[in-house]
Structure 1
């Protein structure tokens, strides 16, 4: 055990990496739990691609500038969310179809913009991140976004839960429905932008969705589900960083594959709709 923990004690870049991933885990996993409950998991994946053109524009303007790429990503993500809603209302096309169209356009445009000026290294940095190269500015940004997300969720928790359960009822008894939905979309974009700093635009959604899917196999109540998802994300982050250090693996994919391993274990062994649980005898009611 001490051998596994030694890199975090000896190297500052490993300490920065674990601090950054813990901040993302605490911030993104609650948002992922709500996406899962709302059956919008694929929306997170689509939005992670949607921020790419904004990140690319920030890169073209200022190079690998944290501030420029962050602002560009937020603007692009919010723009795609607004355009998706506008197209859905104006044409009657389903929201998932509109989102799929815009995320494909965004992904292609973002890759094209980065390739105009950057090298393959720059493109790989933006797409897959560099969690082992987080600096003080990136850590501050991750911690600020984590704090803002947790405070915002605490304020809108009850209407957000009600919107997941019965959005029609919420619209009938409160004016919170529209603002809560927009706030939630903003939190999704904000956390994807934060995640791209460490895991890249393609893998940042993994930290948001996979822990929530794992927790769903073990509990049904939202509070325990969020807590378990946070724990899963932190454990997988540490395991992925250790694997990356020990075997010289890319850190972002190592963390995501660690999450994938926990998901497969939960899929098989989870007591709530896991594969093995379906073969266990169920108790019968007795009169």
Structure 2
């Protein structure tokens, strides 16, 4: 009975299988990026970039309609442009990186919504903002799969540098002149690329959810980076599968259901994870009791 409930929608319905494959591919590539974003205290930068790609997506939509390639290229260029401009403003003013990102992404979001509204309908706007995971076709799966493969290969190549920069950025700056900027730029490009892949599935507003929520939840379960990366990927895969099933049986929007599932796992992790709030309170009480006995 349980086996039937869990697997029958994916066995009997092609659009559910395609949605599951696309979400799995996105989880494999985007959740590790979310882990490194959280380690570098750049979690909100991912959210900012997810909004920043909207003007490029909108321009691609205005020029070519619902062309995945046109919207993807436009979104990638827009995201990189915001990242470059934010870095430039940070280097020349007293503003920190998060403040400059906030200024650019709010304007980008408003510009993107305005551009879509010039020619599109409210349905088109909702499609771009919240995605249409159940409408994913073979071209979209190929698009997401290529980006996921490229991302995993790049992460394997720069893994050591990302780890050093996350835990000891000063060491990397002293020993490799110019190298940290290249790593940082490549990392942000990978983030933008995965957000572009995610907008077709979850929309520009929801794509960052599958990137960040499994990542921050995984940090409540493991204090070691390899374990955190593995748990984050598993949470992303689980959220995608359960979210799709939830949307199927409860007639809910699929994208928000996936992100809401990841949110519930995050709250559970914060409460009862080995590094969560209840566990930390219990350990402190045990430590206080042991000190009193001594």
State TM-score, norm by structure 1: 0.97
1:171-203 deviation digits (Å, cap 9, x = unpaired): 111242111000101011001111111000000
- Tell whether 2:45 aligns with 1:46: no
Equivalent in the alignment of 1:219: 222
Greater CA drift, 20-29 or 271-280: 271-280
Q: Could you tell me whether the CA contact under 8 Å between 1:129 and 1:252 is conserved in 2? A: yes
Q: Could you tell me whether the CA contact under 8 Å between 1:269 and 1:277 is conserved in 2? A: no
Q: 2:265 is matched with which residue: 262, 265, 277?
A: 262
Q: Does the residue aligned with 2:47 lie in a helix, a strand or coil?
A: helix
1:133 and 1:273 map into 2 onto residues whose CA distance is 37
Deviation of residue 96 (structure 1)?
1.1
Equivalent in the alignment of 2:206: 203
1:10-50 deviation digits (Å, cap 9, x = unpaired): 01100000000000000000000000101110111011000
1:135-180 deviation digits (Å, cap 9, x = unpaired): 1110001110110000000000001110001111101112421110
- Segments ≥4 residues shifted beyond 4 Å: 283-287
Q: Could you tell me whether the CA contact under 8 Å between 1:270 and 1:277 is conserved in 2? A: no
Deviation of residue 65 (structure 1)?
0.4
Q: 2:103 is matched with which residue: 85, 92, 101?
A: 101
- Tell whether 2:65 aligns with 1:57: no
Equivalent in the alignment of 1:245: 248
Deviation of residue 93 (structure 1)?
1.5
- Structure 2 unmatched runs, 5+: none
Q: 2:26 is matched with which residue: 18, 21, 24?
A: 24
1:168 and 1:260 map into 2 onto residues whose CA distance is 34
Kindly tell me the number of residue pairs found equivalent between the two proteins: 287
Deviation of residue 106 (structure 1)?
0.2
1:189-232 deviation digits (Å, cap 9, x = unpaired): 00111111100000000000000111000001111101100000
- Tell whether 2:7 aligns with 1:13: no
C-alpha RMSD over aligned residues: 1.4
2:58 and 2:149 map into 1 onto residues whose CA distance is 26
2:176 and 2:100 map into 1 onto residues whose CA distance is 28
Q: Does the residue aligned with 2:112 lie in a helix, a strand or coil?
A: helix
1:149 and 1:162 map into 2 onto residues whose CA distance is 19
2:50 and 2:165 map into 1 onto residues whose CA distance is 23
Q: Could you tell me whether the CA contact under 8 Å between 1:62 and 1:68 is conserved in 2? A: yes
Equivalent in the alignment of 1:151: 153
2:62 and 2:116 map into 1 onto residues whose CA distance is 7
Deviation of residue 246 (structure 1)?
0.6
Equivalent in the alignment of 2:112: 110
2:13 and 2:155 map into 1 onto residues whose CA distance is 34
Greater CA drift, 119-128 or 86-95: 86-95
Equivalent in the alignment of 1:191: 194
1:105 and 1:151 map into 2 onto residues whose CA distance is 33
State TM-score, norm by structure 2: 0.95
Equivalent in the alignment of 2:131: 129
